[in-house]
Amino acid sequence: MKCLLVVLAVVACGPAAPVRTPAQRTEASAPVVAALQASKFDDAARQATAVLASDPGNARAAAVRAIATYQVSGNHLVDQLIQIIEKSNHLEFFDHAGGRAAWQGFLDQLAAIDRDLAVVAADPQFSLELCLACWTADWNHNGQIDEHDTRLFELEFDGKGGEIPQGDPRRRPTFRFDVGDADWARAMIAFQRAVGELVLAYKWSDLDKLFRAKDAPVLTLKLIDKPRVTRARELILAGLDYADRSRAAYLAETDDDREWVPNPRQHNHPMPLEVDDALYTTWAAVTGDIRRLLTSEDGLSIRQFAGLLEPHLVELAPDAYIDFGRLLSDPRDIVFDFTLIDRHEDASGTAAFLRGMLQSGYQTSMHPSALTSRLGQMKSQLDRDEDTFERKLRYLLWLN
């Protein structure tokens, strides 16, 4: 009886997938990687799909399909939107049926890309060598491959205050991507998916009044799909989790080989910028600040933030907070009533305007986020022309 049950179980489940060794997976994915390196993005995606059909755990094939799909789908989205914009008046393309379908198609592809990146992130032995600046493609969509395309991903500066000469091999480095970079990519994809969900959550056609109105108009962005805003919030939180995971993976690395994002102990990286412990500490603090904003533990002080932008704006800023948690968990129509600012050229007008725009996200009392003071410290250092810090700030923003 037990033997019969075992036989039935095997028949029902089908044959087990053969176990591949790392060497076998590297060999199977070699043509796929070569196609990607040669800028054959469609071919790379198709070949990767064939490899993954027989070996779903092949991380290199999954990484290639994720990268190639991102290039192809992003390129397709831009082409579609350009065509729609050319046929639309002003901002109507946002709500054009074709425009919304294009955004949804891109979102679907991003979800598929994330699934492939999950396969990559699950393989601690993953590695992939790529020279991004060596890719040949019409990145600016002008119908030809010109100088702007060929230099798009080149490194221009040497990290010592000088520029890398044209033709210098350092302009076109080869990176060795590893498992930490998979979570970095998942964070980037999650944030982009959140933006797409927010785009499709609202009806944008009222913004077209900006082109027709002679006086200060009242514009309303109608909320037409509330669940999309909820998904956007979940995706942002997921992106922060991936960012934290990638940072932990980077810090745990003991190798030092053409790193995409180095840790303070790694010095072999094509990006001409050394990182230090302070950068990683700030990176962790910023993701924590943003997470507390999204969970409504903290609020962004409107007055403090206005002061960061321009000191004179403090007089026009109300003593209130933006509650990003409620803004995304309890979304409503967004109303831009510019007449309020025209009638009250002081903090009261700004407060009334922001109440309409932020709705439930406008709060008069919250625990202030440390993010504003952290940004203030960064701005202070930038004002003192600390060039090294400025470059590290750009690095930090890119990481997040």
Least confident of 21-25, 54-58, 59-63, 119-123: 21-25
159 conformational bin, left if phi > 0, alpha if psi -120 to 50, beta if neither: left
Strand partners, 301: 321
Asked if the model's pLDDT at residue 292 lies above 60, the reply is: yes
Residues 6+ apart with CB under 8 A from 214: none
Instruction: Return the top range by mean pLDDT from 114-128, 199-213, 363-377.
Output: 114-128
Closest by CA position to 149, among listed 140, 161, 160, 159: 140
Q: Which pLDDT band, with edges at 50, 70 and 90, does 302 fall under? A: very high
- The pLDDT value given to residue 309: 85
Distances (CA, A) of 67 to 116, 130, 382, 383, 398: 9, 11, 35, 38, 18
pLDDT of residue 386: 52
> Looking at residues 53-63, what average pLDDT do you find?
97
Of 41-45, 89-93, 361-365, give the lowest mean pLDDT range: 89-93
Residues 336-370 have pLDDT tens digits of: 998 887 666 678 889 999 999 999 999 999 999 99
As a whole number, mean pLDDT of residues 200-204 equals 93
pLDDT in tens, 380-395: 765 555 545 455 555 5
CA distance 234 to 396: 23
C-beta of residue 346 within 8 angstroms of C-beta of residue 352? no
If you average pLDDT over every residue of the chain, what do you get? 87
Burial class (CB in 10 A: 0-12, 13-18, 19+), 375: middle
Instruction: With a cut of 60, say whether residue 2 has pLDDT above it.
Output: no
Q: Which residue has the higher pLDDT, 279 or 352?
A: 352
| Whole-number Å distance between alpha carbons of 341 and 220 | 16
Distance CA 145, CA 335 (A): 43
| 193 within 8 A of 236, measured Cβ to Cβ | no
pTM of the model: 0.88
